[in-house]
Amino acid sequence: MNSEKVPRWPNGARAVVTVTIHVDGPAVEVGRNLTPLGINSRGRYAIRRGVYRYLDMLERHGIPATFFCCGYDAEHWPGIVKDIWTAGHEVAAHGYQHEGFDLGAREPELLEKTHRILANLTGEEPVGWCSPSGRKSELTLPTLRRLGYRYDTSEKDEDLPYLLDDRFAILPNNTVSLDDFPLYLTGHALPSEAGDNFIEEFDSIVDGDGYVHFIVHPKGAGGSGSPARAAQVDRFLAHAKRTPGVAFMTCRDLADYCLAHPATWLNPRSSTGEQP
């Protein structure tokens, strides 16, 4: 263990893992003005096969996950969102058409649209959001707060969760080594190389701060939807489950845990981590 005093995780856990599935269906291609057919059908793979492969895998491991869904995908394939919800996983927001550009004054409108779609399908309003492109503006957080969101996973500025105040949590993500998409798309990794990387990063985090935010894209091409790549995710989850003292939480549950202990999580690096 390093010398830093790390916060105490729920129930005395040594580390927590949030498994986040970024559905990224045809919304990605449609948002780029592409017809999601032929070479541009990779997002449809997520809808037709990838998501269900992961629902089966998560059920087999008994692991809860957070699925970040685009409003367009939920609108046109509502059954998949209902299946995710029925399986007991969290449904969170991920843009309307996975917008990879600054939205300007339209941003609140699209945040509200996706919020309504997901809430109508599940019967429960989403409380979490991840920017589909990493972009945020001065309109983003005020709109999310007004809609009742409690957390955002878009930041990449810490190895621990932290609070902006006693009503809003930041759960940073690691797109360098715990996100399959850049490893495959820009890193050109083989499945076995990606799996080794996931496990090495996990082991280092467990021996350090203890916050593992794992990101999977169940699409074709740049994600882990296909069998060999999914097998490496399966391998990672099995390794994490075998590790003593590791707890799996949805993003919502982790955010609520942090919000319940603001003295620790407003500035987790200066806290002793002692909970009442």
**pLDDT tens digits, 122-144:** 999 999 999 998 889 999 999 99
**pLDDT for 261:** 93
8-state DSSP, 214: E
In this structure, are residues 222 and 186 in contact, taking their beta carbons and an 8 Å threshold? no
Residues 6+ positions from 43 with CB-CB distance below 8 Å: 24, 25, 26, 27, 28, 29, 36, 73, 219
Domain boundaries, the chain: 10-270
Tell me the C-alpha distance between 91 and 119, whole Å: 9
∠ CA 115-120-126, rounded to 5°: 40
pLDDT tens-place string over residues 62-81: 999 999 999 999 999 999 99
- Residue 237's CB: how many other CB atoms inside 10 A? 22
256 closest CA partner among 144, 186, 160, 161: 161
- Rounded-to-integer distance, Cα 70 and Cα 14, Å: 33
Best CATH choice for the domain 10-270 from the list 3.40.605.10, 3.20.20.370, 3.40.50.970, 3.50.50.60? 3.20.20.370
Q: Which residues, listed in sequence order, are joined to residue 214 by a DSSP beta bridge?
A: 19
- pLDDT value for 2: 42
Q: Is 81 exposed, middle or buried (0-12, 13-18, 19+ CB in 10 A)?
A: buried
Q: List the chain residues with pLDDT less than 50.
A: 1-6, 272-276
What's residue 96's pLDDT?
Answer: 96
Q: Rounded CA gap, 102 and 97, in Å?
A: 13
Asked whether the CA dihedral 249, 133, 74, 234 is positive or negative, the reply is: negative
